Amino acid sequence: METQTRPVNILGIESSCDETAAAVVADGRTVKSSVIASQAELHKKYGGVVPEIASRAHIEKIYPVIAEAMARAGVVAADIDAVAVANQPGLTIALIVGVTAAKALSFVWEKPLIAINHLHAHLQSAMLAAETLELPAVALIVSGGHTCLYDCESPLELKLLGSTIDDAAGEAFDKVATILKLPYPGGPSIEKAAKYGAPKAVDFPRSMLGASSLDFSFSGIKTAVLYYCRGQDMKGPSNVDSMSKQEIADIAASFQAAVIDVLVKKTQRAAKETDARTVLLGGGVAANNELRCALQQMCDSSKPPRKLLCAPKQYCTDNAVMVASLAYHKFKAGLFADLTLEPKSRGQ
């Protein structure tokens, strides 16, 4: 039998929310191309992602984005060994666009199809930064739709330890940005405003859900910010318009500090419980510098210190490199999907 000597090239496709993305990655590690068409401008005036608009934009962009990823990588169909797609979790009418494109290409090119869990792919972004993974490892995945802690044996062996029971961390950032009338997307706006604010100016609640829980809850803090800005009775107009830039910055910094406090304490809890040598951080909120620094401090001050692996900044928010990279492990394990593959809105 002929053995393949060239690297395994995987085309990854991502369309779970508001980014249409495609990438070609060799052997799960070498990024040959990464193309992302962001829809942020389209959703800006609504202050959040509108599923129908997202789906239509994915339909328009999916083939140009894939064609560009192939061209930038300098590959043709014959050089591709498998087509991978994030099929869960996400907005079903957005996911279906990527899934349909991937199935069509897999069928026409006669290449295997690989189904990828979007959250597990975020975790894989953190592994991109490291040559080896020292076990045991715990992973914190913080995105716009999810907040999860995993016990991580390998890229394919993940055990969910805890997740949010209401809002995700990124969702809380986005909603609080709307309350503070800061531009969409909220996460980067809050981080920018918080730079000039005092993190102890307002004592927002930290919801820990009991002494041993590894679940998260962020709806309480969002409501606390709303009450702070509109008064407990919610009868008057928002005070935000009459607040100074400094007051807004103080609220942003205090909110950010409270969310990070919870994320770090829960991750520390999970790391202690599993005796983790390594902590992984991925997802859109992982782009936040304060969170990265706070987790680094937690890892450095643990005894013995733990190693922190953060997803590179360009692979924190949604991208297809993480999809193609994780797919390499499924390719090696022979874990393929077939043309009955469907999008699923849920799946941690």
What residues contact residue 203 under an 8 Å CB cut-off, 6+ apart? 254
Alpha-carbon dihedral sign for residues 219, 191, 91, 40: positive
Minimal distance in Å, beta carbon 54 to Zn ion? 13
CA distance 166 to 184: 21
Nearest to 157 by CA among 123, 180, 202: 123
Question: By C-beta, is 73 or 177 nearer to ligand KG4?
Answer: 177
Nearest to 279 by CA among 183, 141, 144: 141
| Candidate residues 143, 254, 256, 268; the one interacting with Zn ion per rule CB under 5 A | 143
Span near Zn ion by CB under 5 A; candidates 141-149, 244-252, 254-262, 286-294 = 141-149
Q: Which of residues 8-37 bind ligand KG4 (CB under 6 A)?
A: 17
Minimal distance in Å, beta carbon 91 to Zn ion? 11
Would you count residue 191 as binding ligand KG4 (CB under 6 A)? yes
| Candidate residues 98, 112, 187, 343; the one interacting with ligand KG4 per rule CB under 6 A | 187
Span near ligand KG4 by CB under 6 A; candidates 30-38, 156-164, 167-175, 302-310 = 167-175
Nearest to 278 by CA among 134, 124, 158, 153: 134
Q: Write the single-letter amino acid at 183.
A: P
| Candidate residues 98, 112, 197, 284; the one interacting with ligand KG4 per rule CB under 6 A | 284
Q: Which of residues 284-323 bind Zn ion (CB under 5 A)?
A: 318
What residues contact residue 109 under an 8 Å CB cut-off, 6+ apart? 77, 80, 83
Longest Cα separation, the chain: 76
Q: Which of residues 131-160 bind ligand KG4 (CB under 6 A)?
A: 143-145
Question: By C-beta, is 49 or 62 nearer to ligand KG4?
Answer: 49
Q: Interface residues with Zn ion (CB under 5 A)?
A: 143, 318
